[in-house]
Amino acid sequence: MRLRSVVARLREDRGQALVMAIGITMVLALAGASLIAYSTSNERASYRSRASHDAYQLAVSGIENAVSQLASATPDALDDYTFFSAMSASSKTGTFDTGETVTWAGVLWDDNPTNTTNPGGSYQYTGSPNDYYIPNLRWRIASTSIVPNPNGAGTINRTVTADVRLRPTTQQTRDEASWEYIYSWKTGDPDGCDMELPNNPNVNSSFYVAGNLCLDNNSSIVGPLPGKPQVKVVIKGNAILLKNGNDLGTPARPLTSIHVDGTAAAPKGCKFFSNPYHKPCTAVDHVRPNSVSPGPTIPPPVAQFDDWYYVASPGPAYPCDPALSSGAYPDFSDPDGARNASKGTLSLASYGAFSCKTLQGELTWDPAANTVKVGGTLFWDGNLELDTANTQITYSGVAAIYLTGWFRMRQTKLCSVFQGGNCDADAWNTDANMFFVAVEGMNNWSQCTGCGALLESSAVFQGALYSDHSMGFQNNSFIQGPMVAKEELIQNSFTFSYIPPNVKVPFGAPGNTITTWELTPPTNFTG
């Protein structure tokens, strides 16, 4: 009995072991099959991931091809909204022996919210509505790649987009003749003098006066010295020389040209001292050479404060870029979103060293070296003041800054190049260094009521000024460069130096039409 029981138990144990062995074998077989399936799946996923990555890189190469095509265009063709649509399909397609293809295209957008097509937003650009509109252009490039599916039939497609913003070239060809002059558009002053030079001997700047020009005390406008720029005078009204010492050109230094149209109702012309009016004006009237009429009619430039508020960079819409800037720089943003001078007064003297930069513009201030570097078109929703106690500040770069408020200089010298403590009139290269200031607002200073700009107390400025109102100049101040205002109000002694022949101006110069562009690096990649 005992032996039979042992044998039975052995048979039972052997049966259980066999069952377990079979079970383990089946488990191992299933695991192996799963492992093979998992490995195959991973391999397929890896192939697809690699193919998707290749498709992305191929689509990026399409973006690069599009940018390369833009870069090969002439600067005046970059804002042609038909640039890509006019190309043949083959010019926008890349095909490879491996079966991969990439195609690209571009659409030109305008992000200036003052546009009339989609006010407050962007729209597809089809050209500026007028010469005074400032577009904010960017090419939206889209590139689609197609690569074979490594796991079978079909393809893998990837579309990548990027923005390429257009930046106006630093200097544009000047298309406003007004920037050749000290320009005054005032007419109809009750005292008969729309523009006055009360006490400025030997002024040698070109003048354009829409009304009557009066010279008083010992003021004269004299012609150029040999080798110096032309001195042209255009007076659409009358020329009134109130004192015996007044001249419009002298025998030794006649003007380059002079036009005196006289008043429309009674074409008077020129009046010297107590003499009667003459027309044309001659040496009898202390006018040399003889005047010619009619003179050219030159409208004042239009300053696009509305557009530049949204487009300027740095400006309210495009403040300083922290990635490009340094130091405690001024905040150009405008939280209230209104052009109302809410930012107050920007005074460089109150700042330490800083650099405010964007992809399109720059304002960099170094108080230790007394240097300012500028670039692009800037907009400050407020005032700009330079009052640094006879400090000589050297600026470099080409820029225009728009102000909602006023501009004031006092005891400060701002020049591109200095010689002997003053601006070097001969060494100024306006193609490399030109600083425009455009002023919309005004202030009622005691020295100048209703003025948008005031230079006083030996202020010195080498650049260009525009004001929607009058400008005031006094107390031994000096300016070299063109100016446009309702009226230039002169008190005490003030020096107007000759105006360089500005063939080009900053792209932000009031009244200038942007005609040439350059590319910025692609940004905002998606896909």
| CA neighbor of 463 nearest in space, from 369, 374, 340 | 374
pLDDT for the residue numbered 46: 66
| CA neighbor of 436 nearest in space, from 477, 387, 482, 485 | 482
Please give the model's pTM, rounded to 2 decimal places.
0.87
Q: Which amino acid is at 429?
A: N
Q: Residue 23 pLDDT > 70, yes or no?
A: no
Arithmetic mean of pLDDT, 259-267: 82
pLDDT for the residue numbered 39: 46
Give the rounded distance of the alpha carbon of 506 from its chain centre: 7
pLDDT for the residue numbered 15: 52
pLDDT for the residue numbered 493: 79
Mean pLDDT score of the chain? 90
Beta bridge partners of 213: 195, 239
Q: Residue 197 pLDDT > 60, yes or no?
A: yes
Please tell me the least confidently modeled range out of 143-147, 387-391, 406-410, 431-435.
Answer: 387-391
pLDDT for the residue numbered 202: 67
Instruction: State which H helix or E strand residue 383 sits in.
Output: strand 383-403
**Six-digit token pair at 460?**
């010195």
Rounded Cα–Cα distance for residues 12 and 18 (Å): 10
Q: Which amino acid is at 524?
A: N
Q: Residue 98 pLDDT > 50, yes or no?
A: yes
440 SS3 class: coil
pLDDT for the residue numbered 4: 47
Arithmetic mean of pLDDT, 226-246: 95
**Six-digit token pair at 357?**
């930069």
Please tell me the least confidently modeled range out of 185-189, 352-356, 414-418, 420-424.
Answer: 420-424
Percent of the chain residues past pLDDT 90, beyond the cut: 77
Contacts of 192 (CB under 8 A, 6+ apart): 212, 214, 240
pLDDT for the residue numbered 47: 62
Please write the tens of the pLDDT for every residue from 304-361: 999 999 999 999 999 999 999 999 999 999 999 999 999 999 999 999 999 999 999 9
Q: Residue 25 pLDDT > 90, yes or no?
A: no
Arithmetic mean of pLDDT, 470-485: 93
Arithmetic mean of pLDDT, 387-405: 93
pLDDT for the residue numbered 45: 56
Please write the tens of the pLDDT for every residue from 38-88: 444 555 556 667 888 889 999 999 999 999 999 999 999 999 999 999 999
Arithmetic mean of pLDDT, 91-95: 94
